[in-house]
Amino acid sequence: MGRLFLITLEGNIYSCKHCQTHFGLSEDILSKSFHCKHGKAYLFDKVVNVTFGDKEERMMMTGMHIVVDIFCVGCGSIVGWKYEAAHEKSQKYKEGKFILERFKILGPDGSHYMDQEAQIGGSDPDDA
Ligand SMILES: [Zn+2]
Protein backbone atom coordinates (compact mmCIF):
# COMPACT_ATOMS: atom_id res chain seq x y z
CA MET A 1 0.00 0.00 0.00
CA GLY A 2 2.69 2.50 0.96
CA ARG A 3 2.17 5.81 2.56
CA LEU A 4 -0.82 7.88 1.56
CA PHE A 5 -0.22 11.46 0.66
CA LEU A 6 -3.15 13.32 2.04
CA ILE A 7 -3.88 16.96 1.39
CA THR A 8 -4.49 18.86 4.59
CA LEU A 9 -7.01 21.69 4.47
CA GLU A 10 -7.31 24.62 6.81
CA GLY A 11 -10.50 26.37 7.76
CA ASN A 12 -14.01 25.04 8.12
CA ILE A 13 -13.32 21.50 7.06
CA TYR A 14 -15.65 18.71 6.05
CA SER A 15 -13.99 15.36 6.58
CA CYS A 16 -14.55 11.61 6.49
CA LYS A 17 -16.57 10.44 9.47
CA HIS A 18 -14.61 7.17 9.55
CA CYS A 19 -11.01 8.32 9.26
CA GLN A 20 -11.15 12.15 9.42
CA THR A 21 -9.53 12.54 6.00
CA HIS A 22 -10.19 16.08 4.80
CA PHE A 23 -12.53 16.49 1.83
CA GLY A 24 -13.57 20.09 1.45
CA LEU A 25 -14.14 23.50 2.96
CA SER A 26 -17.40 25.19 3.80
CA GLU A 27 -16.45 28.04 1.45
CA ASP A 28 -16.39 25.57 -1.44
CA ILE A 29 -20.00 24.52 -0.90
CA LEU A 30 -22.15 25.68 -3.78
CA SER A 31 -25.42 24.36 -2.44
CA LYS A 32 -26.72 22.63 0.65
CA SER A 33 -30.10 21.92 -0.84
CA PHE A 34 -29.31 18.65 -2.57
CA HIS A 35 -30.84 15.37 -1.55
CA CYS A 36 -29.77 11.81 -2.02
CA LYS A 37 -31.51 8.65 -1.00
CA HIS A 38 -29.97 8.85 2.46
CA GLY A 39 -30.92 12.46 3.11
CA LYS A 40 -29.13 15.73 2.65
CA ALA A 41 -26.20 16.18 0.33
CA TYR A 42 -23.94 19.15 -0.36
CA LEU A 43 -22.67 20.32 -3.74
CA PHE A 44 -18.96 21.21 -3.56
CA ASP A 45 -16.95 23.17 -6.10
CA LYS A 46 -13.93 21.00 -5.33
CA VAL A 47 -12.95 18.18 -3.02
CA VAL A 48 -9.62 16.54 -2.21
CA ASN A 49 -8.42 13.13 -1.08
CA VAL A 50 -10.93 11.10 -3.06
CA THR A 51 -10.63 8.41 -5.68
CA PHE A 52 -13.06 7.86 -8.52
CA GLY A 53 -15.19 4.93 -9.60
CA ASP A 54 -16.38 4.05 -13.07
CA LYS A 55 -18.41 6.44 -15.16
CA GLU A 56 -22.05 5.56 -15.35
CA GLU A 57 -25.29 7.06 -16.50
CA ARG A 58 -27.66 7.66 -13.64
CA MET A 59 -31.23 8.87 -13.74
CA MET A 60 -31.87 11.50 -11.10
CA MET A 61 -34.78 13.70 -10.18
CA THR A 62 -33.33 16.41 -12.40
CA GLY A 63 -32.73 14.17 -15.40
CA MET A 64 -30.04 11.92 -16.78
CA HIS A 65 -26.49 12.53 -15.64
CA ILE A 66 -23.12 10.92 -16.18
CA VAL A 67 -21.55 10.50 -12.77
CA VAL A 68 -18.66 8.77 -11.06
CA ASP A 69 -18.81 7.65 -7.45
CA ILE A 70 -16.15 9.12 -5.19
CA PHE A 71 -14.40 7.26 -2.40
CA CYS A 72 -12.34 8.34 0.58
CA VAL A 73 -8.64 7.63 -0.05
CA GLY A 74 -8.15 7.00 3.65
CA CYS A 75 -10.67 4.23 4.26
CA GLY A 76 -12.21 3.52 0.85
CA SER A 77 -15.77 4.24 1.86
CA ILE A 78 -18.06 5.81 -0.70
CA VAL A 79 -18.80 9.41 0.20
CA GLY A 80 -20.67 10.78 -2.78
CA TRP A 81 -20.29 11.32 -6.50
CA LYS A 82 -19.03 13.71 -9.13
CA TYR A 83 -21.09 15.02 -12.01
CA GLU A 84 -19.22 14.42 -15.25
CA ALA A 85 -21.98 15.56 -17.53
CA ALA A 86 -25.63 16.57 -17.44
CA HIS A 87 -28.05 16.13 -20.29
CA GLU A 88 -30.40 18.92 -19.32
CA LYS A 89 -29.17 22.43 -20.09
CA SER A 90 -30.49 23.69 -16.79
CA GLN A 91 -28.31 21.18 -14.95
CA LYS A 92 -25.04 21.94 -16.75
CA TYR A 93 -23.79 24.02 -13.84
CA LYS A 94 -23.21 20.80 -11.91
CA GLU A 95 -20.69 19.41 -14.39
CA GLY A 96 -17.31 18.90 -12.76
CA LYS A 97 -18.81 19.45 -9.30
CA PHE A 98 -18.96 17.07 -6.39
CA ILE A 99 -21.69 15.77 -4.13
CA LEU A 100 -20.82 14.71 -0.62
CA GLU A 101 -23.54 12.91 1.28
CA ARG A 102 -23.96 14.78 4.52
CA PHE A 103 -24.39 11.76 6.78
CA LYS A 104 -21.07 10.35 5.57
CA ILE A 105 -18.99 13.36 6.49
CA LEU A 106 -18.15 15.34 9.59
CA GLY A 107 -18.88 19.05 9.69
CA PRO A 108 -16.41 21.81 10.58
CA ASP A 109 -17.18 21.46 14.28
CA GLY A 110 -16.61 17.71 14.18
CA SER A 111 -20.27 16.99 14.49
CA HIS A 112 -22.02 14.02 13.05
CA TYR A 113 -24.98 14.74 10.91
CA MET A 114 -28.30 14.51 12.66
CA ASP A 115 -31.54 15.12 10.88
CA GLN A 116 -33.97 17.63 12.28
CA GLU A 117 -36.10 15.05 13.99
CA ALA A 118 -33.11 13.77 15.92
CA GLN A 119 -32.20 17.27 17.02
CA ILE A 120 -35.63 18.05 18.40
CA GLY A 121 -35.72 16.97 21.99
CA GLY A 122 -32.08 15.92 21.88
CA SER A 123 -30.09 15.94 25.07
CA ASP A 124 -27.06 17.80 23.74
CA PRO A 125 -26.30 20.82 25.90
CA ASP A 126 -26.23 24.28 24.32
CA ASP A 127 -22.89 25.80 23.52
CA ALA A 128 -23.26 28.44 26.21
ZN1 LIG B 1 -12.29 7.79 5.26
What separation in angstroms does the CA of 6 have from each of 21, 22, 28, 78?
8, 8, 18, 17
How far, in Å, from the CA of 90 to the mean position of ligand 1? 33
Read off the pLDDT of residues 2-36 as tens digits, 9 standing for 90 and up.
567 899 999 999 999 999 999 999 999 999 999 87
Model-level pTM greater than 0.85?
no
Which residue(s) pair with 42 in the sheet? 100
Considering Cα of 26, then 28, then 33, then 39, what sign does the dihedral take?
negative
Taking CA atoms, 25 is separated from 40, 58, 115, 116, in Å, by 17, 27, 21, 23
CA of 128 to the centre of ligand 1 (A): 31
Q: Which domains, ranges and CATH numbers included, belong to the chain?
A: 13-112 (2.170.150.20)
